[in-house]
């Protein structure tokens, strides 16, 4: 079925250079690696003042670096070279997909953590929950790689393998694609939208947003940037994944090409994530908890003496 479609649409990558994948993956590898390694150096050099958000961003940078390290083999393959063992292709594909969904969950965690810090700054329960950020990250790593293993194992039984030009046969099964879309994209997107709405609302209700103490426009730009990065990176991939599942018995060649390009766009997230790092660390580090706490009219009058310092 879809394997035959893959064969009909496939152009043998071992005989010529696929210039677009080579250029895209090369750009992502170089720029993304520089940006994320720079971010990791910054994060690890500020271990004494690490907030929960920094914990999530550190793990996000690590996930991005791991994804980027799988791209040189894709460049090698699209340059027209042959000889890559199928187990290596499948293993690198597993690492790429696991870290892609790890990035999605970590971006969602950053948004949720930021929302909790602003909305409930004095709640002991919330602050104690935020301190479990390392455990949340560990759970994300276990979930993403554990959920990706069935895909890796299922490909052992698929014939006509073509390394990185394979169709996501297992991932487009109805019993797989629906949980993937729901848990791996739509629920995180809804959480990010709700958290962003609460943050924007908090800014608009603040008593200091009109002063120089808080740069409300910059915070709103940060919120919009986070959402835009998420949508630009992952909406095309999950849209094409849904279309592939609907037409999996007879997939048109343009749809197969769209899937491959959407995967490149998803990988480009590793370059866009440092933009999120910049806005988050720069804005919230400069604003500080005292300013955020005073953004609420009631709090600005009732708690002059007690300000948490664990953000």
Classify residue 11 by burial, with Cβ atoms within 10 Å: 0-12, 13-18, 19+.
Answer: exposed
Give mean pLDDT, residues 249-269: 87
Give mean pLDDT, residues 91-116: 90
pLDDT in the model for residue 23: 94
- Does 80 score more than 50 pLDDT? yes
End-to-end CA, the chain: 53
Average pLDDT, the chain: 78
State whether the Cα torsion 253-254-260-263 is positive or negative. negative
Lowest-pLDDT range, 25-29, 63-67, 143-147, 217-221?
Answer: 217-221
Between 162 and 306, name the one with better pLDDT: 162
Give mean pLDDT, residues 302-306: 45
Q: At 73, list the tokens.
A: 């083999």
pLDDT in the model for residue 245: 86
Cα pseudo-dihedral 176, 178, 184, 189, rounded to 10: 170
- Does 135 score more than 90 pLDDT? yes
How far, in Å, CA of 39 to CA of 62, rounded? 10
- Does 261 score more than 90 pLDDT? yes
Closest listed residue to residue 107, CA positions, set 250, 289, 270: 270
Lowest-pLDDT range, 29-43, 120-134, 157-171?
Answer: 157-171
pLDDT in the model for residue 204: 72
pLDDT in tens, 40-68: 888 888 666 567 888 898 999 999 999 99
Between 56 and 218, name the one with better pLDDT: 56
For 205-240, give one letter per residue: b (16+ CB within 10 A) or e. ebbbbeeebbbbeebbebbebbbebbeebbebbbeb
H or E segment at 23?
A: helix 19-45
Domain definitions of the chain by residue range: 2-302
Topology classification of domain 2-302: Rhopdopsin 7-helix transmembrane proteins (1.20.1070)
């Amino acid at each position: 079925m879809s394997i035959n479609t893959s064969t009909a649409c496939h152009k043998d990558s071992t005989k010529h250079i696929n210039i677009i994948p080579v250029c895209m993956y090369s750009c992502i590898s170089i720029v993304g690696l520089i940006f994320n390694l720079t971010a990791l150096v910054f994060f690890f050099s500020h271990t004494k003042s690490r907030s929960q958000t920094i914990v999530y961003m550190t793990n996000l940078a690590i996930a991005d670096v791991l994804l980027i390290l799988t791209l040189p083999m894709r460049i090698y393959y699209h340059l027209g070279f042959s000889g890559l063992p199928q187990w290596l292709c499948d293993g690198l594909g597993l690492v790429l997909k696991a870290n892609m969904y790890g990035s999605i969950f970590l971006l969602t965690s950053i948004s949720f953590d930021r929302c909790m810090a602003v909305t409930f700054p004095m709640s002991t329960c919330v602050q104690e929950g935020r301190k479990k950020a390392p455990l949340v990250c560990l759970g994300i790593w276990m979930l993403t790689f554990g959920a990706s293993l069935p895909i890796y194992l299922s490909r052992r039984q698929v014939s006509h393998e073509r390394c990185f030009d394979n169709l996501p046969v297992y991932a487009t099964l109805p019993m797989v694609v629906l949980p993937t879309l729901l848990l791996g994209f739509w629920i995180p997107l809804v959480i990010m939208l709700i958290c962003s709405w609460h943050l924007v609302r908090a800014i608009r209700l603040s008593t200091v947003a009109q002063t120089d103490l808080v740069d409300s426009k910059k915070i709103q730009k940060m919120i919009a940037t986070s959402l835009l990065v998420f949508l630009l990176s992952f909406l095309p991939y999950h849209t094409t994944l849904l279309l592939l599942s609907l037409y999996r018995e007879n997939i048109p060649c343009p749809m197969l090409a769209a899937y491959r390009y959407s995967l490149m766009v998803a990988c480009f997230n590793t370059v866009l994530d440092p933009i999120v790092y910049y806005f988050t660390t720069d804005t919230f580090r400069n604003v500080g908890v005292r300013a955020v706490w005073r953004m609420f009219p009631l709090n600005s009058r009732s708690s002059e003496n007690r300000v948490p310092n664990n953000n």
